[in-house]
């Protein structure tokens, strides 16, 4: 047995633990929010001397190898002696341990060290450098945790299924959150991420159903797969300029997310990224976006305004399927192919504009767009259609095409009758403006001003009063 003098122990540890444990945690269910205060008396009653090491506790080379559940003190609290440098694999796993004060000599907490224990709060002291995977996972009573500046990254599954955790303190210098680190932390309403953070692992905040807002620090370049999947209460995300990729299902079923401002340098929106974000009403993709993945905005049923910047060449399948509030869509120049079902069941869609670069439209791309009344296609050669892409749309639609291409469209299957009642050419000049307040836009949806600015604009193609106009 090694004897230690507790007087040498840093008194700030116990104070910090009391402070962290005094947090109020918030949980959300059934549309209401309830609060529960942490019972401080359990920590205040803690002994002020190290807990004696009973026979049956295994310590090797100053590492706690195992502390059986039956040997946890009756008050369910432990103060570890100074000199302990590590806590081993599952050392306190599945024990009734409620509170622990860790020594300043501690350097390592191994994998699953406190797995499924009854811990309520923990302050990890300065000097600890390693946290093993799932060290605190399944700690269903854990409310508050503070990590030191000496820990630079968090292992995978670190606080998985800690359903009461609502107070997490990360210090500057921290750089990486592991995969599924906070999975199913359903009471975590807010977390402040340090500016030093560089990466967030896949599924890190998956199913954190109380999380309201998140600010991603500048320096993070990728939002991984499923990072905020099923964060049903998430309403706002602040992206830094550094983000270039939003991963697969990153915001899948974030039903409270209403408005998203995407960073200018974004290159990839992967498949299912915003699938089922039923409160999202507006989205603008930046110029230079290279990939808009399959089902990226599928079933965003409130999405009424979509502005797509130039960059990507393929609009992947089901990208906007089921966007039932969308009324108009203009695809940017450079798009060459629409994959199948891309606008399926967009039942409010009345008008769609295809660019001159479009070559192929996939099967049922606009199936069941039951309000569609006008299609403008600026391609000189009718794009190849995979079957009747306009299936279950009104037969009385108007098709607007380049003047020199009318005859070709009329004789191309599915571009002529009965899909379209009339085929006309676009407007090639602007009539004298009667409504000087009508707005003028570029083909990419950028507003230039009212029609009064028309004389000052250079020659080109514009959108005025929902019509494409050549100057």
For residue 181, count other CB atoms closer than 10 A to its CB.
Answer: 26
Q: Is it the case that residue 26 has pLDDT exceeding 70?
A: no
DSSP 13: H
141 band by pLDDT with thresholds 50, 70 and 90: very high
Prediction pTM value: 0.81
What domains appear along the chain, each with residue ranges and CATH number? 1-174 (3.80.10.10), 439-470 (no CATH)
pLDDT recorded at residue 427: 43
Tell me what the mean pLDDT of segment 419-430 comes to.
71
Query: Which of 40-49, 375-384, 428-437 is modeled with the greatest confidence?
Result: 375-384
Helix (H) or strand (E) segment spanning residue 406: helix 406-410
Q: Is it the case that residue 112 has pLDDT exceeding 70?
A: yes
Q: Is it the case that residue 170 has pLDDT exceeding 90?
A: yes
Top pLDDT among 143 and 454 is at: 143
Q: Is it the case that residue 174 has pLDDT exceeding 60?
A: yes
471 band by pLDDT with thresholds 50, 70 and 90: low
pLDDT recorded at residue 445: 62
Whether the upstream peptide bond of residue 109 has omega within 30° of 0, thus cis, is: no
pLDDT recorded at residue 458: 76
pLDDT recorded at residue 429: 38
pLDDT recorded at residue 430: 37
Q: What is the mean pLDDT of the chain?
A: 87
pLDDT recorded at residue 385: 95
CA distances to 78, 80, 92, 122 from 46, rounded to whole Å, are 8, 12, 18, 14
Find, among 113, 97, 127, the residue nearest to 12 by Cα: 127
pLDDT recorded at residue 289: 97
CA atoms within 13 A on the CB side of 198: 6
User: CA angle, corner 58, sides to 57 and 61, nearest 5?
Assistant: 140
DSSP track, 15-61: HHHHHHHTPEEEEEETTEEEEEE--THHHHT--SSPPP--TT-EEET
Percent above pLDDT 70 for the chain: 85
pLDDT recorded at residue 416: 86
268-304 pLDDT, tens digit each? 999 999 999 999 999 999 999 999 999 999 999 999 9
């Amino acid at each position: 047995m090694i004897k230690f003098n507790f007087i040498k122990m840093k008194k700030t540890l116990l104070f910090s633990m009391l402070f962290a444990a005094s947090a109020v945690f918030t949980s959300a269910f059934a549309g209401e929010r309830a609060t529960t205060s942490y019972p401080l008396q359990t920590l205040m009653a803690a002994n002020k001397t190290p807990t004696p090491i009973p026979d049956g506790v295994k310590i090797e080379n100053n590492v706690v190898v195992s502390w059986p559940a039956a040997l946890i003190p009756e008050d369910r609290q432990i103060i570890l002696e100074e000199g302990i440098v590590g806590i081993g694999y599952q050392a306190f796993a599945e024990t009734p341990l409620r509170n622990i004060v860790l020594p300043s000599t501690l350097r390592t907490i191994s994998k699953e060290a406190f797995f499924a224990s009854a811990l309520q709060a923990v302050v990890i002291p300065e000097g600890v450098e390693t946290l093993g995977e799932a060290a605190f996972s399944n700690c269903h009573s854990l409310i508050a945790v503070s990590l030191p500046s000496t820990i630079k990254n968090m292992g995978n599954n670190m606080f998985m299924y800690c359903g009461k955790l609502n107070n997490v303190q990360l210090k500057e210098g921290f750089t990486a959150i592991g995969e599924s680190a906070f999975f199913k932390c359903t009471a975590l309403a807010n977390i402040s991420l340090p500016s030093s953070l560089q990466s967030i692992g896949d599924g890190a905040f998956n199913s954190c159903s109380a999380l309201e807002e998140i600010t991603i620090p500048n320096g993070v370049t990728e939002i991984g797969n499923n990072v905020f999947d099923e964060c049903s209460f998430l309403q706002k995300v602040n992206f830094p300029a550094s983000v270039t990729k939003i991963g697969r299902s990153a915001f899948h079923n974030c039903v409270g997310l209403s408005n998203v401002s995407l960073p200018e340098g974004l290159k990839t929106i992967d498949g299912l990224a915003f699938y089922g974000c039923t409160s999202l009403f507006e989205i603008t993709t930046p110029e230079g976006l290279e990939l808009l993945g399959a089902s990226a905005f599928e079933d965003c049923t409130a999405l009424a305004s979509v502005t797509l910047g130039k960059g990507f060449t393929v609009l992947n399948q089901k990208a906007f399927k089921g966007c039932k509030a969308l009324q108009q869509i203009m695809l940017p120049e450079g798009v060459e192919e629409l994959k199948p079902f891309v606008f399926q069941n967009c039942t409010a869609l009345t008008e769609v504009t295809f660019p001159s670069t479009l070559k192929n439209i996939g099967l049922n791309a606009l199936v069941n767009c039951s309000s569609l009344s006008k299609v403008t296609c600026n391609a000189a050669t009718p794009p190849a259609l995979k079957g009747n892409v306009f299936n279950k749309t009104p037969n009385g639609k108007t098709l607007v095409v380049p003047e020199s291409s009318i005859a070709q469209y009329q004789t191309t299957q599915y571009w002529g009758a009965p899909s379209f009642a009339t085929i006309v050419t676009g407007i090639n000049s602007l009539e004298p403006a009667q409504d000087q307040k009508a707005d003028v836009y570029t083909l990419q949806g950028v507003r230039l001003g009212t029609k009064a600015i028309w004389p000052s604009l250079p020659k080109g193609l514009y959108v005025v009063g929902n019509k494409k106009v050549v100057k």
